[in-house]
Amino acid sequence: MLKLFDTVTLKNDDPETGVKAGTEGTIVDVLGNGKAFTVEFFDEDGNTIEASLYTEYTPAQLQKVETALILT
| pLDDT higher than 90, residue 67 | no
Residues 60 and 44: their CA atoms lie apart, in Å, by 24
Residue 70 has pLDDT above 80, yes or no: no
pTM assigned to the model: 0.89
pLDDT value at 68 more than 80 = no
| CB neighbourhood size of 27 (10 A) | 19
pLDDT tens readout for residues 16-43: 999 999 999 999 999 999 999 999 999 8
% of the chain exceeding 70 in pLDDT: 100
